[in-house]
């Protein structure tokens, strides 16, 4: 395995990285976090589904708040819910389900996050997992996700980029875009004025000592 327990990074950082490298660095290198309306709604939704526990029916078991880890990807996290479907041979096939506050996004980060959960479960349980699902609160629909080769490769390369970014310890400069309007770090990042600053700390220092 390429990583050890000491190297593990949060699984949620994958979606931060795909949303914006700078946001990912601010959170996971500079340890900055600010809650806004979007993150608060997401947190409350996750708290509702995040309780650990389980339910069982004849051919279906539901496990909530399932701890996840992959030494192959170097990530650690938790699945909102994993369904276990009984197979004809009597075994149980995991099917991860992730709850999202909004609606499906143009970017691939929700699918990558779900695929990372599947890769963790594959490694932990020594099984092959082919599908999972994303449930979007805004449209109240559950969309199936296929863990095909492309998505697996994107997930693996995103995890590797995440480790490189954190190991490098350098926050990329801001690039203002439409996504910034929904970013919880907009007021700290200041993308319209902070472009080119290496870190938020450097920006704050420059404000104190103009």
Q: Any contact of residue 197 with ligand SF4 (CB under 6 A)?
A: no
Of the pair 23, 158, the CB lying nearest ligand SF4 is at 23
Interface residue with ligand SF4, options 174, 197, 199, 200 (CB under 6 A)? 174
For 28, the 3-state DSSP assignment is helix
**Within a 10 A sphere around the Cβ of 28, how many other Cβ atoms?**
20
Q: Any contact of residue 94 with ligand SF4 (CB under 6 A)?
A: no
Question: Which of positions 9-48 make contact with ligand SF4 (CB under 6 A)?
Answer: 20, 22-23, 26
Paired with 94 in beta bridges are: 84
What is the rounded distance in angstroms from the CA atom of residue 57 to the CA atom of residue 114? 24
Q: Any contact of residue 179 with ligand SF4 (CB under 6 A)?
A: yes
Paired with 75 in beta bridges are: 9, 70
Of the pair 41, 156, the CB lying nearest ligand SF4 is at 41
Stretch that binds ligand SF4, among 97-105, 122-130, 184-192, 199-207 (CB under 6 A): 184-192
Interface residue with ligand SF4, options 82, 186, 199, 200 (CB under 6 A)? 186
Query: Which residues contact residue 164 at a Cβ distance below 8 angstroms, ignoring those fewer than 6 apart?
Result: none
**Cβ contact 28:167 at 8 Å:** no
What is the rounded distance in angstroms from the CA atom of residue 178 to the CA atom of residue 169? 26
- Binding-site ranges for ligand SF4 (CB under 6 A): 20, 22-23, 26, 174-175, 179-180, 183, 185-186, 189, 191
């Amino acid at each position: 395995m390429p990583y050890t327990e000491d190297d593990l990074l949060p699984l949620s950082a994958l979606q931060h990285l795909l949303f914006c490298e700078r946001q990912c660095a601010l959170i996971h290198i500079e340890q900055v976090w600010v809650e806004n309306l979007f993150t608060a709604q997401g947190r409350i939704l996750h708290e509702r589904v995040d309780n650990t526990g389980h339910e069982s029916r004849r051919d279906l078991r539901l496990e909530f708040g399932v701890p996840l880890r992959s030494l192959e990807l170097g990530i650690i996290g938790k699945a909102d819910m994993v369904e276990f479907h009984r197979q004809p041979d009597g075994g149980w096939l995991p099917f991860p389900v992730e709850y999202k506050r909004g609606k499906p996004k143009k970017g691939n980060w929700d699918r990558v996050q779900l695929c990372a959960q599947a890769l963790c479960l594959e490694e932990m349980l020594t099984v092959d997992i082919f599908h999972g699902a994303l449930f979007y609160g805004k449209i109240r629909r559950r969309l199936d996700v296929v863990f095909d080769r492309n998505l697996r490769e994107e997930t693996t390369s995103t995890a590797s980029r995440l480790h490189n970014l954190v190991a490098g310890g350098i926050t990329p400069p801001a690039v203002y875009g439409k996504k910034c309007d929904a970013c919880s770090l907009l007021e700290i990042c200041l993308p319209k004025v902070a472009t080119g600053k290496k870190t938020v700390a450097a920006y704050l220092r420059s404000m104190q000592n103009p």
